[in-house]
Structure 1
């Protein structure tokens, strides 16, 4: 008989790299208005003046002996083409509502709105990406909500395995990711890259390009080994761990990606490869 056991939910921090890896798009921060020109004060009264008689011309232009050499020179006005003023770009709206709306506009999945958190999306993504690149996780910087279903295992012949139902918990996240066109995701990335670079400069090395941090994060996830099911686990009374020490010794992001299941991981990796190729 198969015994189903409910255990502590394992947060899918990794999926966001995926949903937003993505993400994110051009910012022109800070623009100043042109200084208003001061108007000179006009005189309040005009004094009357007596015009003096114009001196007689030294040359009589009507004289039959007048020549072109002694005629007055009249210069043609010089016309200078002034360039048209360029429109001042508006600063990029990096509010959570705008970023979330941008993602939902390119996601062909009706449940996507329920999966993303509603606060500090851009900063959460930058911190999460940096942590994945460093082979760790950021427990307080999830960009997606946790699955509603619990993590489940089953016991068979004295061994404990991950239940296939646990893999299905992540299907909506993967569906959201794969529904997004890669070109649209990369466009978002290019648009928000300056804003993300500013955030990264606060928490990392300001000299580093956040694009390469993202590439490191993607490459680390792509290095996650693919293993067949069933996947054996064991518990230390606190949480479940992989029975295979090689898997348990993987980084936290890689182990979380493994917990999405073979099929979901295959689809996630395929999308990451497309994004990697597009931003190289």
Structure 2
């Protein structure tokens, strides 16, 4: 994958760590399965034979007398109780304001608020996840604002290397990621899964399960190799590229994860593995 120019001419966004912040909402949910309860079986109870009627003596004929008048007290009928109509569930609030607030409440609110975009969050998440499962990125559907500082390199021995300061730009994103509560993330995905399914049906195969798409995206990230620093790059007059052919031949998603730096990438992977381990317990 190409590296952006130091003069900010590159169109490749800095989004991989940011996308993960929302990705972990769904991570591992595919492994959760609700246990089904067997249907109750009605076992017929054997009926005991009715006892034969005991013999009775013939009763003497009653002596008829004039009937006495009887007085019955009127029976008061209770007032009919109103039939309560079942309450319909409130419609799911998929507005950007609600979604953003729910995510922000799970981590460092102020820091995350400055990073997360404000519009079309649900669709951005579905589109970006679908692309990442295929090893590509969708710049127009980034979930977070890019870092304030630009990509930096330094020269040594007539070669260009990625400056460590470039990695530090992603640290606030990873801090937000680590602060997310795993259980709340899963609950949030469970709540919005129907809405996510509807969006995915518009851009993908309606018969596909989005859970599989998510797991593919996460596993693709976890397969990103870890490399020692410093990392050599070169420019082709437009963008920076990795000098190492093995790195340059990685997918766009994996190369973007590499750009977060070895320490940030380690923390990102640890968060994903932690979440999956909790779900698989």
TM bucket (normalised to shorter chain) is 0.7 to 0.9
Higher relative contact order structure (alpha carbons within 8 Å, sequence separation ≥ 6):
2
Aligned to 1:19: 21
SS of the residue corresponding to residue 201 of structure 1 reads helix
Query: Could you say what the CA RMSD is over the residues aligned between the two structures, in angstroms?
Result: 2.8
Aligned pairs (5 A) from 1:197-236: 197-236=197-236
Q: Is the 8 A contact 2:161 2:232 kept in 1?
A: yes
Q: Counterparts of 1:158-169 in structure 2 under 5 Å? A: 158-169=158-169
1:83-142 CA distance string (max 9 Å, x none): 965421101100000000001111135311010111101100100000000111101100
Runs of 5+ unmatched residues, structure 1: 25-61, 67-76
Which stretches in structure 2 are left out of the alignment for 5+ residues? 27-62, 68-76
The offset of 1:279, in angstroms, is 5.4
Q: Which residue of 2 aligns with 1:48?
A: none
Contact 1:128–1:138 under 8 Å retained in 2: yes
Kindly provide the CA deviation profile for residues 6-27 of structure 1, in whole angstroms up to 9, marking residues without a partner as x. 3436522222331101337xxx
Alpha-carbon distance in structure 1 between the residues aligned to 2:234 and 2:266: 24
Q: Is the 8 A contact 2:19 2:142 kept in 1?
A: no
The 8 Å contact of residues 16 and 257 in structure 2, kept in 1 or not, is answered as yes
Q: 1:204 to 1:279 in 2, by over 3 A?
A: farther
Alignment-derived partner of residue 132 in structure 1: 132
Query: C-alpha distance in 2, partners of 1:207/1:64?
Result: 85
Question: What's the counterpart of residue 141 of structure 2?
Answer: 141
Compared CA separation, residues 135 and 96, structure 1 to 2 (3 A): same
Matches within 5 A, 1:1-280: 6-8=6-8, 10-23=12-25, 64=65, 85-278=85-278
In structure 2, the CA distance between the partners of 1:264 and 1:84, relative to structure 1 (3 Å rule), is: same
Counterparts of 1:268 and 1:63, CA distance in 2 = 100
Displacement of 1:278: 4.7
Give the superposition deviation at 1:236: 0.5
